Structure 1
Amino acid sequence: MPAPTIATVAELAGVSTATVSRALQRPDKVQPQTRERVMAAVRATGFVPNSQARNLRSRASRTVILLVRDISNPFYLEIYKGVEEAAVEAGYKVLMGDARNDDERIQHYIDMVHARHADGLILMVGRFPEVLKAELGRLPPIVIALETFPDLSLPFVKIDNVAAAAEAVEHLVALGHRRIAHITGPMPETLAVDRLAGYRRALAAHGLAPDEALVVQGDFGLAAGRAAVRRLFETGTDFTAIFAASDQMAVGAVSELRARGLAVPDDISVVGFDDIVLADAFEPPLTTIHQPRFDIGRQAMARMIGLLAKEPGGEDVVFATRLVVRGSTGPVKSDFQLKRRRRP
């Protein structure tokens, strides 16, 4: 049975759709008897007023949702600024949602767009619910920013994670490091898989045999960096450097190394990924891969505006990254093995 519309309410109440709209938006401008007939019709039909009813002329909310993995991660601040700047220029507003790696929450925000509470969704989440993949033709306007879902034909704004990760490891190899550990993102998410592939590609380019004992899985969070270093020490494998798939994990790794009486970079070098604001404020300042997050946010919103305007789709946008060398990396030291086993 089709959902009741504003026309359904108007017919039952014996008034025009404009009167229904006015009764819902500005009830003080409608005669009490007419207003009561409209509200009775709303109750009888089960009609749910939404932004479609409140804006009959444009049938749009002029709102876009930016849905991220973890709203507490400072990585998303510059993304949001870029999205909002482009949105304001085009007469839109932006709501920010927290997916929390939860399929139901992702579905909730998609349902918000279906219900016309928002016009489109910019997704920055690590997963795309399987149930939605079977409904691609019925999805609302969606742009994927920085995440990668190879099996989805949706507009993407992204970076080359394989090349960026390889550049980070190349930097460590150039400093003389040969035993380089890697803290991955949550596997098997494509973003984490690609950064692991870049790590392995750089090792292979220099004839360095991969050692799976040096690869520890994380989740991009601070605590995962600490836990990964503890795991590396538990296995007893030697390493002189760490490449972490996020700055938060890199900061966590440095904290755990310090707790064990080790100095960064004198004993162990550490490279992160993202170049969040904390990277430059941390001590030592973090060597990391910079992503132009503000520009990425602007471009994601520009793609969304194009979708909403029914403009022909363009090619996916791939932004360049760059290595930012700071104080957390240095040349390998010959006496590292003795030092790295010290405890506080």
Structure 2
Amino acid sequence: MVRIKDVARLANVSTATVSRVLSNADNVTEETKEKVLNAIQELNYSPNILGRYLRKMETQTILVVVPDITNTFFSKILRGIESIAVQNGYQVLLADTQNNVRQEVEYLNLLRQKRVDGMILLTARMDRSLVEEIAEEYPVVLACEYLEGSRLPTVSIDNVSSARKATEHLIKLGHRRIAHISGPMDIILSRDRLRGYQQAMAQYELKFDPVLIQEGDFSYEIGYNMAMKYLALENLPTAIFAANDEMAIGAMKAIREHSLNVPDDIAVMGFDNIKISSIVEPALTTIAQPMYEIGTTSMEILLKLINGEDLKKRQFVLEDQLIIRESCGGKVRF
């Protein structure tokens, strides 16, 4: 079956441009219109008139898909999304998948049924071909995560360089036996943070013991449990780098329960800079993500897609920051 993206590819234009030609929009040059119409004729493309009509109907509502609403990391992102949405007359619906890939797929149907005007995904565990196919026809933005090699509009930080920076901070403080509690390995940002950790260790010619790399799930409980594993080893790590703050805080609890001190006995590094990271004792050294900006940028991009604008840029990589507090024994910076 010939799809709109096949027409766009043959005419060497975006799918949004093809849509504008089909809807007889004014902001398309005659030359571009002719290329598109020739491609339609050559491919014998028959657009779905009903689908096109439905896509013209606006709900003034967008859907944000969150993998786990109990994870406080997403709260500032959601606030950023909503601030831009409200300014532009849009309502925000929130969908919590509870890390269920099947549920993620179900929410895509809301776009097909034109019950929302666009979607921001804060997770990307579903089949990439399905996401890309939907994004060819409807406004979709992926935030926090990304699909390697995809043209899907994305907003994130560079998780590899961020994790490398975090690990390097521990190394410069004198640590050589550094453990890493990763996120789930089916998530690309978890793999990126593990890669950054490994790159830093390799750069300083430090051997990393495979037993010191444990897979987590971003929860406080798993951070506690993985730290308990490390504390059962004969040769303890001198530092733990957790792939998010919640796991880092869980690790600190386990260390304290073994009558050890953070950071004097074991230093702890987190990732994200959620609010509680500055409140726990000792305050947590971490990588700060620009969460609010991730939200505002994602919504601004989605509005451009909804309005049929071409994106000159499709991958937005925002700046992170190393926040040094007491949990690693470095200089305090609030």
SS of structure 1 residue aligned to 2:109: helix
Identify the match of residue 225 of structure 2 among 213, 224, 227.
227
Residue in 1 aligned with 2:326? 327
Change in 2 beyond 3 A, CA 1:137/1:280? closer
Instruction: Tell me if the contact between 2:105 and 2:126 (Cα under 8 Å) persists in the aligned partners.
Output: no
One-letter amino acid of the counterpart of residue 182, structure 1: H
User: Is 1:253–2:219 an aligned residue pair?
Assistant: no
Identify the match of residue 167 of structure 2 among 156, 166, 169.
169
Q: What are the residue-to-residue correspondences of 1:18-57 with 2, within 5 Å? A: none
Instruction: Tell me if the contact between 1:182 and 1:244 (Cα under 8 Å) persists in the aligned partners.
Output: yes
TM-fit CA distance, 1:58? 6.1
Q: What are the residue-to-residue correspondences of 1:13-162 with 2, within 5 Å? A: 59-129=57-127, 132=130, 135-136=133-134, 140-162=138-160
Instruction: Tell me if the contact between 2:240 and 2:266 (Cα under 8 Å) persists in the aligned partners.
Output: yes
Residue in 2 aligned with 1:185? 183
The one-character-per-residue Cα deviations of 1:50-90 (angstroms, maximum 9, x if unpaired) are xx9xx999611111111111001111110011101111111
Q: Distance in 1 between matches of 2:114 and 2:225?
A: 43
TM-fit CA distance, 1:126? 4.4
Structure ID, larger Rg: 1
Q: Distance in 1 between matches of 2:154 and 2:132?
A: 19
Aligned sequence identity (%):
40
TM-score w.r.t. the length of structure 1 is 0.77
TM-score w.r.t. the length of structure 2 is 0.79
What residue ranges of structure 2 are gaps of 5+ in the alignment?
1-49
TM-fit CA distance, 1:235? 4.0
Q: What are the residue-to-residue correspondences of 1:295-314 with 2, within 5 Å? A: 295-314=293-312
One-letter amino acid of the counterpart of residue 318, structure 2: F
Identify the match of residue 276 of structure 2 among 268, 275, 278.
278
Which stretch has the larger CA shift, 105-114 or 263-272? 105-114
Residue in 1 aligned with 2:31? none
Work out the number of aligned pairs and report it. 278
TM-fit CA distance, 1:130? 5.7
Residue in 2 aligned with 1:201? 199
One-letter amino acid of the counterpart of residue 109, structure 1: Y
TM-fit CA distance, 1:160? 0.3
Instruction: Tell me if the contact between 2:224 and 2:254 (Cα under 8 Å) persists in the aligned partners.
Output: yes
CA RMSD of aligned residues (A): 2.1
SS of structure 2 residue aligned to 1:232: helix
One-letter amino acid of the counterpart of residue 238, structure 1: L
What residue ranges of structure 1 are gaps of 5+ in the alignment?
1-51, 332-344
Q: Distance in 1 between matches of 2:186 and 2:106?
A: 24
SS of structure 1 residue aligned to 2:326: coil
Which stretch has the larger CA shift, 298-307 or 236-245? 236-245
Q: Distance in 1 between matches of 2:298 and 2:279?
A: 28
Q: Distance in 2 between matches of 1:297 and 1:161?
A: 17
TM-fit CA distance, 1:262? 1.1
Which stretch has the larger CA shift, 296-305 or 312-321? 312-321
Runs of 4+ with deviation above 4 angstroms: 55-58, 136-139
Change in 2 beyond 3 A, CA 1:218/1:155? same
Change in 2 beyond 3 A, CA 1:168/1:56? closer
SS of structure 2 residue aligned to 1:125: coil
Change in 2 beyond 3 A, CA 1:129/1:237? farther
